[in-house]
Structure 1
Amino acid sequence: MKALILAGGVILLCLRVFSQSDLLETRSVVPEPCMDPFYHGVASGDPMKDRVIIWTRVTPADENQNPVVVGWKVATDTAMSDIVQSGSLITTYERDYTVKIDVTGLQPDQWYYYEFYAYGKRSIQGRTRTTPLEDTYKDSLRFAVVSCANFEAGFFNVYASLADRKDIDAVLCLGDYYYEYATGGYSPNPAAGRVVEPLHEIVTLDDYRMRHSIYRLDKDLRRLHQLFPWFCIWDDHESANDAWMGGAENHNSGEGDWIARKEASKKAYFEWLPIRDNDQEGQYEIYRTASYGVLVDIMLLDTRLTGRSEQVSWGSSQLNNANRSMLGTAQKNWFLNELSTSTAIYKLVAQQVMMAPLTAFGIPVNMDQWDGYPTERSQILNHVFYNGIQNFVVLTGDIHTAWTMEIPIGASRAGVEFVTPSVTSPGMDLGSGVGESVIMAANSHIKWCNLNRKGYMIVDVNQNRVQSDWYFVNTIDAADAAAVWATSYYANQGSTQLHATNSIAFARPDIFSDVPQHCPRIVVEEEEPEPEEPGLAVQEVQKDIIVIGMYPNPVSTILNIHFSNLETDEMTMEILDETGRNVFKETFICQQGSWIKQINTTDFAPGKYTLFIHDEGNPVLKRNFVKY
């Protein structure tokens, strides 16, 4: 076996019964050896004028739950010679060995590069950008908008296409960053052959962590995080389908307490994504505002978990109940105040579900959208319209399809809405434009839609107009970063009328910057950072086996071992107790890929145990865990 990878906080499954007949197809994600021990890459997010979040996860060298010291640096150049900030911290099993730093003291409107250091190795280099000062009038700003990435539905070519671009300020992810279903539970694509881990529907904190992990091993998602800062908000599938404050369509009593499941999903989300922590620990609120100078304020909402009332069906007597809410009282009041006090020319509202109406024969199509909360929608749109709040631009995900709409309020318009297509999740293929024509004929405020292509939006804002360019990828059945322009619509400053254009928006010159490498940069010995920097030394030779995760540890019943095999080979796993007695041994053929091996420890006596993995009889990996 040339290489095998396991780790402590994530999991993948290699042959559930582990016999020759159970061999699975090669998995579509395998960690890259050059990234040891930072297999999940780096990320940045929530930039401000003087600070930004930088993120990584270190794969621990052992499974004793020992803390890991991680160093970090931020520089203005790719050679990391002009260091502006640096430091170190200790990460632990309690946060799944993730690392998140709120780097302060930065200059506004500038590109920065950053790295992490642990176990004598460096991470890949990340690139990020701060926002302009409040009084800065940028010529233009550009944001990539994505949503709805179902791992098993296909390859993340949308991310690959965006990673090939060099002309955006930040990525806006509007939710459904991942999906909670069991393998095969939602639109699996046999042509792609991608399989999630764990194989079951995710419910517990460890489950959610493992699902994050398998996503972040995807090279295209990892690369896009490496290159640009992100603003992330969750939708429903980061917890469970059609979630609301007190439950979800895809949650039942057999899956435990909903509040516990919801909080577990939120905790994992804040661990694994570059989102700024709340002032009050454990609150995990995602609604917030990002300022981009005079030109743009981005208001990010939570239409799912904070204050949403349960969905009702069309015709329900509760539909227009004034007490029903999408945002909850606290968030709604915050949002209305942000709209009223914002001095930015454009108010971009990044949120999850379609705000403009979508009806068929006068009946709303989807009551999970704002159509299911008409009273609160009217309150917001009335606030915008009657207070003269101009350039109200809603950015939406969730529906897996592409739309551009004027948002009606009576016979007038309150703003415009751009809806991004999905990364991979299935749309509504109604056949050769027929569905689109019928929809637009029944909804005059809808100016364009596409119901089945996968892709993304580039939203470009300048002093004269806001424009969205839609791009579609060619396929999600195989890796292919090519994307084609589909259409563009714009609204002039101060107007709520949309216009089609054949001219895509072009980036300002200062948006371009050097791009970091796919693997950690190689530094000659005399250029190595000073020895006092924590966790950095000359690079070691890549070891054959690296552990990604063992969940949970300590374990009560089922121990999940998350690992990746870089080459199909025969493997033996055995477990010894403190006396050296063998309590478990299994030999099997393991295909190349990322997996989770589950071991039932019910009959193990409480105490410390050591897991060994053998390749052709030679022990190549040793990890410890505790049974209680």
Structure 2
Amino acid sequence: MRLKQTVVEQGAVADSSRRNFVIRMASVAAVLGSSGALSACGGSDSGQSGDVAAFNYGVASGDPLADRVILWTHAKTASDQPVRLVWQMAADASFSLLAASGTTTASADSGFTAKVDASGLTANTEYFYRFVAPNNAVSPVGRTRTLPVGDVAEVKLAVFSCSDYPAGYFNAYDAATSSGAQFALHLGDYIYEYKDGVYPPAASAVAARISAPANEIVTLADYRARHALHKADPYAKALHARMPMIAIWDDHEFANNAWMDGAENHNPLTQGSWAARKAIASSVYHEWMPIRSPDPANLLKIYRSFDFGNLLSLHMLDTRIIGREHQPDRSFDAQGRDIADPAFLPYAFNRSKQMMGSTQQSWLDAQMTASKATWQILGNQTVMARIVLPASVLAANLSTASVSAYLTAKGTPAQLRTSTQNDLLDPAKNPKISYNFDSWEGYTDQREQVLASAAKQKAAGKKFAVLSGDSHNAWFNKLTLRDGTQVGAEFAGMSVTSSGFEGVFPPSVFPPATLAATIKSMVDDISYFDSSRRGYMLITVTPAQVKGDYIYVSSVTSSSYTTAVDTLSYAG
């Protein structure tokens, strides 16, 4: 999702050379750690003498299970020949005793990326890993870990979304590397597809953060180059090297407000077929992300589950590409009618649209039913809670007068209300409508199915929570059925860099605290809302509760920053 942006404040840009130095030193340390004991692999697919492989994008790991984990790197020589790699895993950073090893190849067919599903590992164990190329070129050393089994007391997850490169520095990634998190989750919009200067507008972008390629990405080479841009970021390198990541895509890995058969930001007349663009984007995502492909014959299928012993089953959903029907526009219908027109209402309340498809819904129901874990947690792209506002307020773009009129009517005793005030509180005349139909509010029947399934699990003694991204803002919400029954809680995280409500409602005109209080006063299911800060969530799961530390960075326009924390929790 892209919020319509009017104002973004920009600060001073600082040099990130210190982090670049750290990454370079990690590479040097890896070479020294090899002690020259590894000879060139040789063979016809190795680089020629002097043609040394470069590991310009570091290393990454992901999709851990109890006995295996995906290892990733990118290796390329000046000659563009395939690079034969040896991968190694050990319990110590000196690699004195290997726990697992093998070979793989980085070639042009995969954009010179290489992935390995390293198996035969021990549960709940931290490992060091690296890749070694011919001529003893050695990658930076990464750290990863396997999932726990049996009784698990605690799991810590660093949760991210919406990392738009030109919008600022990935300080949230940097902060998370020292947070104590064991695993990273990325809930989508790992990259953005826009032409440089479009989002954010050139006047609001950070000068040192220029998109590459400069054009909107459409081709195979384009998508590879944009992923490379993000992987080259020193904070992204450090995060990936520090812990395994479990990731799903959202729309911007493809194009803004994507759905199965198109996207708001895709023009088939000038950009070719959506099917072709979708196939390219998904293929490159699998190349550049440390993701295990559930179905190699269908790279559009990425929903999958992870079991953290008997504490937590994490179900990663795809609510964007594989089953989503065309979402309504959040402001106008096909005839140009807006939310102030009663004829718009049937369009706004079309509840039957599918957001993730019936096949994925059946899979999720079966996964939660079969799980023996205390907590059933969804990794989900968009906000799930019921966030609806009076049509009178939305039509006036949350103007002070419209908000005041509604809240005054709400606070006036029934016998003292005027006819105008009664009309404001009459759901037939002034219904509550979502500000964003691209979220679950555009797909309310399927949301009810998901929450009804959660209610069944709750009756069986399991607890339910949802981790969400996409909105660029921080929320802690109740998850309720249509009858008002609460079945769980939603921890929806702020963006890494992308501008939130402060880009639509300038803080100088609408202070964030006032905006948050205003929205909370009109939406019963919101318990916490922050409309202006960037960062990430540190989610700590224990048998008793899910605790969300909302960790905010003071700036994304400088690589120097401080952090602040708000903490919310849910006991189930």
TM-score, structure 1 as length reference: 0.71
Residue 350 (structure 2) pairs with residue 350 (structure 1): no
C-alpha distance after superposition, 1:535-590 (max 9, x if no partner): xxxxxxxxxxxxxxxxxxxxxxxxxxxxxxxxxxxxxxxxxxxxxxxxxxxxxxxx
Question: Does the 8 Å CA contact 1:196/1:211 hold for their aligned counterparts?
Answer: yes
Cα distance between partner residues in 1 of 2:328 and 2:264: 12
Question: Does the 8 Å CA contact 1:319/1:373 hold for their aligned counterparts?
Answer: no
Cα distance between partner residues in 2 of 1:247 and 1:191: 30
Following superposition, the deviation at residue 129 of structure 1 comes to 0.5
Corresponding residue of 2:185: 172
Cα distance between partner residues in 2 of 1:139 and 1:335: 25
Which amino acid counterpart does residue 437 of structure 1 have in structure 2?
A
Cα distance between partner residues in 2 of 1:474 and 1:313: 33
Residue 323 (structure 2) pairs with residue 307 (structure 1): yes
Following superposition, the deviation at residue 204 of structure 1 comes to 1.1
Corresponding residue of 2:217: 202
Question: Does the 8 Å CA contact 2:480/2:486 hold for their aligned counterparts?
Answer: yes
Q: Equivalent of 2:154, from 129, 135, 140?
A: 140
What secondary structure sits across from 2:262 in the alignment?
coil
Question: Does the 8 Å CA contact 2:128/2:144 hold for their aligned counterparts?
Answer: yes
Following superposition, the deviation at residue 284 of structure 1 comes to 3.6
Corresponding residue of 1:449: 529
Corresponding residue of 2:353: 324
C-alpha distance after superposition, 1:345-371 (max 9, x if no partner): 001100100110111111111000000
Cα distance between partner residues in 2 of 1:432 and 1:115: 45
Which ranges in structure 1 are unaligned for 5 or more consecutive residues?
1-24, 496-628
C-alpha distance after superposition, 1:320-369 (max 9, x if no partner): 65752001121111011112221100011001001101111111110000
Residue 128 (structure 2) pairs with residue 48 (structure 1): no
Question: Does the 8 Å CA contact 1:161/1:482 hold for their aligned counterparts?
Answer: no
C-alpha distance after superposition, 1:184-207 (max 9, x if no partner): 110144444310100000011111
Cα distance between partner residues in 2 of 1:385 and 1:214: 43
Question: Does the 8 Å CA contact 1:50/1:107 hold for their aligned counterparts?
Answer: yes
Q: 1:384 to 1:278 in 2, by over 3 A?
A: closer
Corresponding residue of 1:508: none
C-alpha distance after superposition, 1:586-628 (max 9, x if no partner): xxxxxxxxxxxxxxxxxxxxxxxxxxxxxxxxxxxxxxxxxxx
Residue 421 (structure 2) pairs with residue 363 (structure 1): no
What secondary structure sits across from 1:199 in the alignment?
coil
Which amino acid counterpart does residue 311 of structure 1 have in structure 2?
Q
Residue 436 (structure 2) pairs with residue 436 (structure 1): no
Question: Does the 8 Å CA contact 1:440/1:447 hold for their aligned counterparts?
Answer: yes
- 1:19-418 matches, cutoff 5 A: 35=27, 37-63=54-80, 66-120=81-135, 121-133=137-149, 136-165=150-179, 167-187=180-200, 188=202, 189-253=204-268, 254-313=270-329, 315=344, 317=346, 324-361=353-390, 362-387=432-457, 388=459, 390-409=462-481, 410-418=483-491
Question: Does the 8 Å CA contact 1:244/1:305 hold for their aligned counterparts?
Answer: yes
Which amino acid counterpart does residue 170 of structure 2 have in structure 1?
F
The number of equivalent residue pairs is: 463
Following superposition, the deviation at residue 53 of structure 1 comes to 0.3
Following superposition, the deviation at residue 57 of structure 1 comes to 0.3
Which amino acid counterpart does residue 484 of structure 2 have in structure 1?
A
Cα distance between partner residues in 2 of 1:256 and 1:289: 34
Q: 1:191 to 1:251 in 2, by over 3 A?
A: closer
Cα distance between partner residues in 1 of 2:87 and 2:562: 34
C-alpha distance after superposition, 1:49-102 (max 9, x if no partner): 000000000022313xx2211111000111101201111122210101101000
Question: Does the 8 Å CA contact 1:278/1:284 hold for their aligned counterparts?
Answer: no
Q: 1:33 to 1:416 in 2, by over 3 A?
A: closer
Corresponding residue of 2:39: none
Question: Does the 8 Å CA contact 1:142/1:169 hold for their aligned counterparts?
Answer: yes
Between 1 and 2, higher relative CO (CA 8 Å, sep ≥ 6) is seen in 1
Question: Does the 8 Å CA contact 1:355/1:370 hold for their aligned counterparts?
Answer: yes
Q: Equivalent of 1:419, from 479, 489, 492?
A: 492
What secondary structure sits across from 1:441 in the alignment?
helix
Cα distance between partner residues in 2 of 1:234 and 1:431: 32
Cα distance between partner residues in 1 of 2:144 and 2:24: 24
Which amino acid counterpart does residue 500 of structure 2 have in structure 1?
G
Which amino acid counterpart does residue 467 of structure 1 have in structure 2?
K
Could you tell me the percent identity over the aligned residues? 35
**Structure with the higher fraction of residues in strand conformation:** 1
Question: Does the 8 Å CA contact 1:160/1:220 hold for their aligned counterparts?
Answer: yes
Which ranges in structure 2 are unaligned for 5 or more consecutive residues?
1-12, 28-52, 331-343, 391-431, 503-509
Corresponding residue of 1:19: none
Following superposition, the deviation at residue 138 of structure 1 comes to 1.4
Cα distance between partner residues in 1 of 2:96 and 2:562: 35
- 1:481-496 matches, cutoff 5 A: 481-485=561-565, 487-492=566-571, 495=572
RMSD of aligned Cα (Å) = 2.0
What secondary structure sits across from 1:122 in the alignment?
coil
What secondary structure sits across from 1:375 in the alignment?
helix
C-alpha distance after superposition, 1:128-173 (max 9, x if no partner): 010012xx111111101010011001111111111233x1110010
